[in-house]
Amino acid sequence: MATWEYKSVTLERTGTKEDFGFDWTYGAWEVGIDQSGKQPMMTGLQQLGRAGWELAGAMPTDMWDEASRSGNAPHGIRTISCMLLFKRPAVEGASTDN
């Protein structure tokens, strides 16, 4: 029977709204793979794929920070995010702390 190891990473982009209209300005999608910080989405996904990780699922985890708004920003900062769950075949005797 196959055994698997799992890894979760964040995928997010941040947006701001500086007026009372409907338009938000969003940054680029970034992934947080490890403690080294965030990197562009495609760079991070390619890195995970080369290491044998396969996407197994995604869960939305959006955040809204009303406390971050300025005087002319009625909605503050919104982070659109997902938790991505990856899997790959486990290797006997190998550490699963990746």
pLDDT at 7 exceeding the cut of 60? yes
SS (H, E, C) the chain: CCCEEEEEEEEEEEEECCCCCCCCEECCCEEEEECCEEEEHHHHHHHHHHCCCEEEEEEECCEEEHHHCCCCCCCCEEEEEEEEEEEEECCCCCCCCC
Ranges of each domain in the chain:
4-89
Convert the pLDDT of each residue in 17-37 to its tens digit.
766 566 777 888 899 887 778
Give the model's confidence band at 9: pLDDT under 50 very low, under 70 low, under 90 confident, else very high: very high
Give the model's confidence band at 67: pLDDT under 50 very low, under 70 low, under 90 confident, else very high: low
pLDDT at 52 exceeding the cut of 80? yes
Whole-model pTM: value is: 0.69
